[in-house]
Amino acid sequence: MVKKSIWSISASAGKRDPLSGNISTDTVIIGGGMAGVLTAHFLEQAGVECVILEENRIGSGQTKNTTAKVTAQHGLIYDRLLQSVGKEKAGQYAAANQEAIHRYRILVEKYQMDCQWEDCPAYLYTSVDSKRLRQEYEAAKRLGIPGELTEKTELPFPVKLALKFENQGRFHPLKFLYSIAGDLKIYENTKVKHVEGHTVTSDLGQVTAKNIVFACHYPFQNVPGYYFMRMHQERSYVVSVKQACSLNGMYYGIDEDALSFRSAGEEILIGGGGHRTGKKTAGNSYDYLAHMAEKYWPGCKETARWSAQDCMTLDNIPYIGLFSRSCPDWYVATGFGKWGMTSSMVSAMILTDLILKRECPYADVFSPQRYNIQASAANFIKDSGHAAAGLLKRAAGIPKEKLEEIRPGEGAVIEHDGQKYGVYKSETGKKYAVSVKCPHLGCQLEWNAQEKSWDCPCHGSRFDYQGRKLDEPAQEDTECYIWEED
């Protein structure tokens, strides 16, 4: 069993050189994941010169950790959208995501990609209450999405009801990404430090461009835009198993603590156990998923386990479009929730149209400048409360744990010489102490025992036990000290 995604261990790409010096281009895209690469591809096809700046390797962020379901079925989204934004904008959302599936198929066929693309149905299922699924079925029908209610599934347990969408898709995301990246001008291992006007400053040089696209999962530029006030992040977990079964469909449970399922070759991917980043959870999500796999398919063999981080917007609609009214040549794609593959394609479609000054039939519903108090107010209050609590805890909270109480393989926030530290004790007894002040905006980091990381409950930045940044919006590592044995 390996602790990385099955995509990461079954695909590779040649390294790209880092940026060296200062250059100019039409459009610079920050982020070499699915959204950034697709946007660059479409723009280049339209004759717009593009440069991609990637902090690590292309596809090394959330793209490698997705379950790679390409579907317009995003949970109970359509009934909620009809109530919150109305039929016109709900229809835009539906049409954009249906078009996204079609665009993937076109690219796979056009370039004859060996990326394991399969057309397949997608299901929402419930074991508890069928009312919400019936409402979602009616909502989808109003918006022109053909669906079917059924009690028959391939799942190894009975369901009360399922909602089936035909003609969705699944694939190997990294094989697709590496293929479509092709001859694009991509600079890897190039960390962007700052953006101002038409200049992107990295640690290795500057790029001057007419247009700047933030496709880096979570925008690191706090002002303008203020995206840190308009999103939170969540963790989710996946295990893959062999010797289970083969599922023709993809399944996503709508009940509390329900699981998702899809096949990938000889393996089944089981997802679940999600929680807000930085929130302490009881038990181990990986072990729970492995336990459920064994329960459903006795004798199955776990092959891999990995996790993902998702940006959740206030109204559960991605922010795709103009970064800020005050920066007319900056664009953004973020807040994809659990649906990064279709949202990446939607982003590429919309941003290409906006940069080329073309009419885009889907732009309004995804506009980052939208404001819908009915859809956003409750989540804004909740997210603001988490941020305030994180800041207050660092300023006034008194740690309960003591240094001598930390057992090997565990971590905790402790007070030492009047200062707070996050301390992890290795199996050999070495103590790694980090500053618990998040370098993003100063909230107190919390220990994530499942992944041995320090996570920010305010905005979702993450660091390993040695203080090295794992997830944004923080741009820097947090300070780390090694305390030897007394």
DSSP 8-54: TTS------PPP-S-EEEEEEEE--SHHHHHHHHHHHHTT--EEEE-
For residue 416, the model assigns a pLDDT of 83
Residues 6+ apart with CB under 8 A from 133: 76, 124, 125, 126, 149, 161, 162, 163, 254
pLDDT averaged over the chain? 93
Of the given ranges (209-218, 314-323, 441-450), which has the lowest mean pLDDT?
A: 441-450
For residue 482, the model assigns a pLDDT of 82
Q: Residues for the chain: how many in total?
A: 486
Of the given ranges (160-164, 198-202, 367-371, 404-408), which has the lowest mean pLDDT?
A: 404-408
Enumerate domains of the chain plus CATH numbers: 23-66+175-229+316-371 (3.50.50.60), 396-483 (2.102.10.10)
Question: Is 376's pLDDT higher than 80?
Answer: no
The type of residue at 359 is E
The type of residue at 59 is G
d(CA 6, CA 21): 36
Report the SS3 class of residue 443.
coil
Tell which wins on pLDDT, 393 or 201: 201
d(CA 74, CA 312): 13
Sheet strands side by side (includes 453-455)? 446-448, 453-455, 462-464, 469-471
For residue 43, the model assigns a pLDDT of 99
Question: Is 377's pLDDT higher than 70?
Answer: no
d(CA 283, CA 294): 17
Question: Which stretches does DSSP call E strand in 408-479?
Answer: 410-416, 419-425, 431-435, 446-448, 453-455, 462-464, 469-471
**Which tens digits make up the pLDDT trace of 125-159?**
999 989 999 999 999 999 999 999 999 999 999 99
Question: Is 27's pLDDT higher than 80?
Answer: yes
For residue 371, the model assigns a pLDDT of 78
Task: Evaluate whether 236 touches 272 at the Cβ level (below 8 Å).
Answer: yes
For residue 396, the model assigns a pLDDT of 55
Question: Is 77's pLDDT higher than 70?
Answer: yes
Question: Is 405's pLDDT higher than 50?
Answer: yes
d(CA 148, CA 164): 5
For residue 402, the model assigns a pLDDT of 80
Task: Evaluate whether 54 touches 186 at the Cβ level (below 8 Å).
Answer: yes
Task: Evaluate whether 150 touches 164 at the Cβ level (below 8 Å).
Answer: yes
- With CA atoms as reference, report the closest residue to 175 among 330, 10, 332: 10
How many CB atoms are located within 10 Å of the residue 151 CB?
A: 11
In this prediction, residue 486 has a pLDDT band, given cuts at 50, 70 and 90, of very low
- The DSSP H or E segment spanning 308 is strand 301-313
- With CA atoms as reference, report the closest residue to 72 among 48, 87, 92: 92
**Which tens digits make up the pLDDT trace of 220-261?**
999 999 999 999 999 999 999 999 999 999 999 999 999 999
Task: Evaluate whether 470 touches 460 at the Cβ level (below 8 Å).
Answer: no
For residue 481, the model assigns a pLDDT of 86
Dmax over CA atoms of the chain, in Å, equals 69
In the chain, the percentage of residues whose pLDDT exceeds 90 is 86
**How distant, in Å, are the alpha carbons of 51, 75, 225, 331, 360 from that of 319?**
22, 18, 11, 10, 15
Question: Is 390's pLDDT higher than 80?
Answer: no
**How distant, in Å, are the alpha carbons of 138, 219, 462, 469 from that of 473?**
38, 7, 9, 10
d(CA 314, CA 324): 17
How buried is residue 486: exposed, middle or buried, by Cβ count under 10 Å (0-12/13-18/19+)?
exposed
Q: pTM score, two decimals?
A: 0.93
Q: Which two tokens stand for residue 209?
A: 């461009």
Half-sphere exposure of 442 (CA within 13 A, CB side): 5
- Over range 65-91, report the average pLDDT: 97
Residues 6+ apart with CB under 8 A from 191: 55, 202, 203, 204, 475
d(CA 217, CA 29): 12
Report the SS3 class of residue 166.
strand
